Structure 1
Amino acid sequence: MKIAFYGSSLVSAYWNGAATYYRGLLRALAEKGYDITFYEPDVYDRQKNRDMDPPDWCRLVVYEGTIDALKAVTSEAVEADIVVKASGVGFEDDRLLEEVLRHARPHALKIFWDVDAPATLAELRANPDHPLRLALARLDLVLTYGGGDPVVNAYRSVGAAECVPIYNALDPQTHHPVPQDYRFAADLGFLGNRLPDREARVEHFFLEPASRLPNRTFLLGGSGWQDKPIPSNVRYIGHVPTRDHNAFNVTPMTVLNISRASMAENGFSPATRVFEAAGAGACLITDYWEGIDVFLKSGEEVLVARDGQDVAALLSGLSHQSAREIGERARRRVLAEHTYVNRAETADEIFRARLGAREAAE
């Protein structure tokens, strides 16, 4: 079966948190026999900051950020059995959705794949005439990379025929244990770009514990923090390329996951980083969100903090040996249950059931 997938970027993770998700899931689908073409616009300097070559398991089409180029690539949707328009593509998203739906074959499976459901749903609730909301009746399915029942019910309430979460996961080929790299030595490391929906939580869960524990060392990676006041025991290293993420995860005694506020509020939304860190065998401390135990067992495979005081207490009571044991249990769990091969099985079942029912009805 042919999939035409219109997304933000497959080959660049630069200001593109969905890259790991796309790579892991689409490669696993390709291994199941899907013929995939991924279409991405040349915007936001992503092509200048590629962190992987075009893969051999997927045809990549990069198009200019112009309406003419958008029309040209969406005309190819007619060749696909499954047509996917992802959220947050980054260039004329509403126009892209309309053109994709216009060119898709009548019997093709038409999907909106939401990689930031809380943000999208907030827009739909605020605007009854939002182009996506008006297009939901023409879409067969909404898939999301997180959210659980709150997101499923919210999408149904605004007109989606069906909504199914396909959660983030681990790609063991890209995220795995590596030797420690003492550029990243610390008691606690946090890796994340500075975003309005996250900054206050970073202050609360990362900078506050650093102030509480002046004898502990903290490592901050990610873009945008250079002018942020930080305690003297926090070392800021700027952007960390994806090739160094495994080393960043395995070297500190612990690493921290801080969900964006909207993701934490919805629950059942593990960030890609949760699985990347666990796959490398890191001891992960995460902020609390409903549904954590669906993915990792609190206290045994992951440490859970409800505030900065909890983070400080967890760090103070943790030894390097116990941290390694927690990280190893997490790695075993995600390898068994939370890989993109597992997620691709779910997606494949959904695709085949929907297309099979359509064929049987003809």
Structure 2
Amino acid sequence: MTRPLDIVFLGLSLSSSWGNGHATTYRALIKGLREDAHRILFLERDVPWYADHRDLASPDFCELGYYSDLSALIELYGERLRTADAVIAGSYVPDGVALIDRLAALNLKRLCFYDIDTPVTLAKLDRGDEEYLALRQIPLFDAYFSFSGGEVLARLEQNYRAQSAVALYCSVDQERYGNTGEAPAWDLGYLGTYSPDRQPTLERLLLEPARRLPAMRFVVAGPQYPAEIDWPANVERIKHLAPADHASFYSRQRFTLNVTRSDMIAAGWSPSVRLFEAAACGTPIISDFWRGLDELLPDGEASLIARAPEDVVALLTDLPDSDRLAVAAAARKLVMSGHTGAARAGELARALSQLPAKPALDRISA
């Protein structure tokens, strides 16, 4: 274990999981850091959307602070930012470009970026969209921690001039995710906020199988789905599912569906937090295909890849229960050994400890 570090995160949200997967990713990671005695402050912009939907307003595993604008951020937390061992800005933070410029001007000990949306970020930058990160800022970071691994890391260093690109996949909170032992309520389910680029896959791999298997039960949980979607009668809708209810939700499915955004499919090596959560609950995963999935959860051994409605129908109707449970057990073993919050926290702390800190005189003169 490395010595305890003082780390400040500036992320999209820790307090609210409503309509975003960032909160659960940060929660698992920071809980793991807390277990190793690291000191953590998480700062998030106080915006109405998350303020109205906070499901973790007072975490017991870190300090949580809010700021109204960038001037208030520096006024309230400037000294803490300057003395921290590492400051890590995240993707999709409001006014992210201006925020990063303000942080860089402080000449911090270590300034890093945690991109929980790497394929989306790079696709945005390639078309000139600098919503929360500017292309010119990537070389400023001592380390660029990426939601995506594999060949994406080489692209970050070679094409985008990252000093050091390091894979930091999302992870599962091992304290909250496990099988609850409840009886199955659905044959196939899906958990995810509506996304236009995921919807065709959801249509192909869940809604169409539901139409072909009217005697079976299906469920889709998540907000922001348009009213015009034609939901089959045997598909139950849950508009929002709090993280506290995720384990029960997964445990009551015979299979769960993993659907990946198009940018992440194109990049590869971009596992979603839902993938790890479902595996930790011992629920067999049916997933669309992307490069790198087979390295994390081998097809037919720890996951079941489907490309067409027929594949899903065959799995739901023909796969023996013994095979279904064996796939679930293999996935759970892999995830609990290498993809928990504790495991990911160790990776982050080791990477930060290997980064040289800027000398104090340099920081003072800045």
Equivalences for residues 246-325 of structure 1 within 5 A: 246-325=247-326
Amino acid at match of 1:347: L
| Identity within the alignment, % | 32
In 1, the alpha carbon distance for the partners of 2:224 and 2:342 equals 34
Per-residue deviation, 1:128: 9.2
CA contact (8 A) 1:178 1:250 kept: yes
CA contact (8 A) 2:139 2:161 kept: yes
Amino acid at match of 1:203: E
Q: Does 1:207 align with 2:210?
A: no
In 2, the alpha carbon distance for the partners of 1:332 and 1:287 equals 21
The change in CA–CA distance for 1:326 and 1:27 in structure 2 (over 3 A counts) is same
Structure 1 spans left out of the alignment, 5+ residues: none
Per-residue deviation, 1:73: 4.6
Structure 1 residue aligned with 2:103, among 100, 104, 107? Answer: 100
The change in CA–CA distance for 1:222 and 1:153 in structure 2 (over 3 A counts) is same
Equivalences for residues 179-194 of structure 1 within 5 A: 179-180=181-182, 185-194=185-194
Between stretches 238-247 and 148-157, larger displacement belongs to 148-157
CA contact (8 A) 2:81 2:87 kept: yes
Q: Partner of 2:39 in structure 1?
A: 35
In 2, the alpha carbon distance for the partners of 1:155 and 1:181 equals 48
Total equivalences in the alignment: 353
Per-residue deviation, 1:11: 2.1
Per-residue deviation, 1:164: 1.0
Amino acid at match of 2:259: I
In 1, the alpha carbon distance for the partners of 2:157 and 2:91 equals 14
Per-residue deviation, 1:104: 3.9
Per-residue deviation, 1:253: 0.9
Q: Does 1:135 align with 2:130?
A: no
Q: Partner of 1:13 in structure 2?
A: 17
TM-score (norm 2): 0.89
Per-residue deviation, 1:211: 2.3
Equivalences for residues 144-155 of structure 1 within 5 A: 144-155=146-157
Per-residue deviation, 1:319: 4.0
In 1, the alpha carbon distance for the partners of 2:319 and 2:239 equals 27
Aligned residue for 1:249, secondary structure, equals: helix
Between stretches 277-286 and 30-39, larger displacement belongs to 30-39
In 1, the alpha carbon distance for the partners of 2:17 and 2:249 equals 16
Between stretches 314-323 and 335-344, larger displacement belongs to 314-323
Q: Partner of 2:91 in structure 1?
A: 87
Per-residue deviation, 1:147: 3.7
Q: Does 1:233 align with 2:234?
A: yes
Amino acid at match of 1:134: R
The change in CA–CA distance for 1:155 and 1:129 in structure 2 (over 3 A counts) is farther
In 2, the alpha carbon distance for the partners of 1:310 and 1:44 equals 43
In 1, the alpha carbon distance for the partners of 2:299 and 2:124 equals 33
Amino acid at match of 2:335: V
CA contact (8 A) 2:110 2:358 kept: no
In 2, the alpha carbon distance for the partners of 1:357 and 1:48 equals 39
Per-residue deviation, 1:212: 2.7
RMSD after superposition:
2.3
Q: Partner of 2:363 in structure 1?
A: none
CA contact (8 A) 1:250 1:280 kept: yes
Aligned residue for 1:327, secondary structure, equals: helix
* Residue-by-residue CA offset, 1:332-356 (whole Å, 9 max, x unaligned): 2211222222222222221111137
Amino acid at match of 1:28: G
* Residue-by-residue CA offset, 1:9-36 (whole Å, 9 max, x unaligned): 1121112211111111122122223211
Aligned residue for 1:285, secondary structure, equals: strand
Structure 2 spans left out of the alignment, 5+ residues: 361-366
Per-residue deviation, 1:129: 8.2
CA contact (8 A) 2:111 2:142 kept: yes
Q: Does 1:62 align with 2:59?
A: no
In 1, the alpha carbon distance for the partners of 2:313 and 2:321 equals 15
CA contact (8 A) 2:19 2:222 kept: no
Greater RCO, CA 8 A, separation 6+: 2
Q: Partner of 2:327 in structure 1?
A: 326
Q: Partner of 2:173 in structure 1?
A: 171
Q: Does 1:4 align with 2:5?
A: no
CA contact (8 A) 1:12 1:50 kept: yes
* Residue-by-residue CA offset, 1:124-160 (whole Å, 9 max, x unaligned): 2223988621122322111112242135414531221
